[in-house]
Structure 1
Amino acid sequence: MTLMRVRVFTRFERFWHWSQAALILALIFTGAGLHGFHRVLKFGDMLTIHVAAALALMLLWIFAIFWHLTTGQWRHYRPTTEGLGQIIRFYSIGIFRGDPHPFRKTWRRKHNPLQALTYLMLKLVLNPLIWASGLALLLYDLWRKEPWAAGGLEAVATAHTAAAFLMVAFLIMHVYVITTGETFSEQIETMVTGYDRMEIDPAEAEVLKRDGALG
């Protein structure tokens, strides 16, 4: 096995990641304003930005799902319990004792078991909840005359707000995990350049070289 610089994140993945981050931050900022946490912008302006960012994010998510399915990249998000306990112990205890990270990223498996499970739940549960509740609020005029509209509006608004707070919690944890690399900027640099250093055997090196994935 040889330590080599390998492209683990494609150009689209990096575009998707940073665009998604910018749009989510815009949604959090405007959403907080709509709930009265700040008055930086006028209510109408915040609502316009919020809706525009939400629609852009939905389109990005839809395209990303299509890309993952057609390129086979969805395999990196397959959940597994193998090594999951070790990862949980590392982040809860081991990291504070200076223990080595129990997971070694490979070009076949970008995410550790906890990451894969978290991202899968994000895509299958949290994102759809935000989509559905947000669209229901946006299209409220279409169902506001229904007999259940009053209670329904409260339930939908509560679900949307709860999902937003869960997204904020995810972002906080995500940023925390980013800082747990060997250096503060290591994982940020990987998501900017797409390259990371990992151990590769000769057969894998040949495949990666043929695909132009070696740095």
Structure 2
Amino acid sequence: MTKRIVKVYPRFERAWHWVQALLIGVLLLTGLGLNGVHHLIPFGPAVMLHTIAALVLLVVWVFATFWLFTTGTWRQFIPKIEGMLETARYYAYGIFKGEEAPYKKVFWRKHNPLQAATYFGLKWFVFPAIWVSGIIYLTYNFWDSGSDATLILQVVRNIHLLAAYVILAFIIVHVYLLTTGHGFRAHVKPMVTGYDEIDLTPAQEAYLEANEPNRLKPVTPAE
């Protein structure tokens, strides 16, 4: 294995990440306000902002899903059992003892086993739950009929809130983990520039140098 500075996050992925982060921030802020957690935004404007941000995010996710499957990037989010326990132990214990992370980022797999499992759960369960419940909630006036409508709405509301709090918890843990290891700046920089230091096999390095040299930063004595 050779450590090289490689562009692992293409422009679309970085744009999608930051736009998604901004929109989810707006949704959480307005959603918490609508549920009485704070009163920073009046109810009417909060509903409007929440709805607009949700619809824009839905469009972004449609494009992102298309990109994930057409580029094969979706494979990055398939969890593997191998290394899961070691990674979980590191985050639960080893990270506080200054131990070295058991997983090294490689060219074909950017996420460690725990990250992949987390993203898999979010993308296949939490995000669909919040979208389906949100759309049902938004279209309440179209299906509001019968004595069971209020009960159904309450169930839908609770599912929507539960999914939202799961996403909020993920964001808190995600930001916290960015402060560990090499520090916040080192973790965030790759999602700004696209480049990160990863391990390459001789075959991968030769392939990139021959076919995608623009993804490799030249080796300098400092590196």
Structure 2 counterparts to residues 4-83 of structure 1, below 5 A: 4-83=4-83
Match of 2:137 in 1: 137
Segment of structure 1 superposing worse, 146-155 or 122-131: 146-155
Confirm whether residue 181 of structure 1 aligns to residue 181 of structure 2.
yes
Partner secondary structure for residue 184 of structure 2: coil
Deviation per CA, 1:39-70, whole angstroms, max 9, x where unpaired? 22221101000000001111111111111011
Do the aligned residues in 1 keep the contact of 2:2 with 2:199 (CA within 8 Å)?
yes
How many angstroms apart in 1 are the aligned matches of 2:168 and 2:39?
A: 20
Match of 2:221 in 1: none
How many angstroms apart in 2 are the aligned matches of 1:164 and 1:3?
A: 39
Q: How many residues align?
A: 215
1:158, CA displacement in angstroms? Answer: 0.8
Match of 1:112 in 2: 112
Q: Is there any run of 5+ residues in structure 1 with no aligned partner, and where?
A: none
Match of 1:214 in 2: 216
How many angstroms apart in 2 are the aligned matches of 1:95 and 1:77?
A: 23
How many angstroms apart in 2 are the aligned matches of 1:76 and 1:114?
A: 12
Structure 2 length normalisation: TM-score? Answer: 0.93
How many angstroms apart in 2 are the aligned matches of 1:158 and 1:200?
A: 46
1:26, CA displacement in angstroms? Answer: 0.2
Confirm whether residue 84 of structure 1 aligns to residue 107 of structure 2.
no
Q: What amino acid does structure 2 have at the position aligned with 1:95?
A: I
1:202, CA displacement in angstroms? Answer: 2.9
How many angstroms apart in 2 are the aligned matches of 1:139 and 1:146?
A: 15
Q: Is there any run of 5+ residues in structure 2 with no aligned partner, and where?
A: 218-223
Do the aligned residues in 1 keep the contact of 2:107 with 2:199 (CA within 8 Å)?
no
How many angstroms apart in 2 are the aligned matches of 1:12 and 1:3?
A: 25
How many angstroms apart in 2 are the aligned matches of 1:181 and 1:214?
A: 24
Match of 1:123 in 2: 123
Q: What amino acid does structure 2 have at the position aligned with 1:163?
A: A
Match of 1:172 in 2: 172
Partner secondary structure for residue 215 of structure 2: coil
How many angstroms apart in 2 are the aligned matches of 1:39 and 1:194?
A: 38
How many angstroms apart in 1 are the aligned matches of 2:27 and 2:70?
A: 29
Superposition RMSD in Å: 1.1
Structure 1 length normalisation: TM-score? Answer: 0.97
1:172, CA displacement in angstroms? Answer: 0.6
Deviation per CA, 1:62-85, whole angstroms, max 9, x where unpaired? 111111011100111111000000
Do the aligned residues in 1 keep the contact of 2:3 with 2:200 (CA within 8 Å)?
yes
Partner secondary structure for residue 81 of structure 2: coil
How many angstroms apart in 2 are the aligned matches of 1:2 and 1:184?
A: 24
1:201, CA displacement in angstroms? Answer: 2.9
1:176, CA displacement in angstroms? Answer: 1.4
- Percent of aligned positions with the same letter in both sequences? 45
How many angstroms apart in 1 are the aligned matches of 2:143 and 2:20?
A: 30
1:7, CA displacement in angstroms? Answer: 0.8
How many angstroms apart in 2 are the aligned matches of 1:75 and 1:115?
A: 13
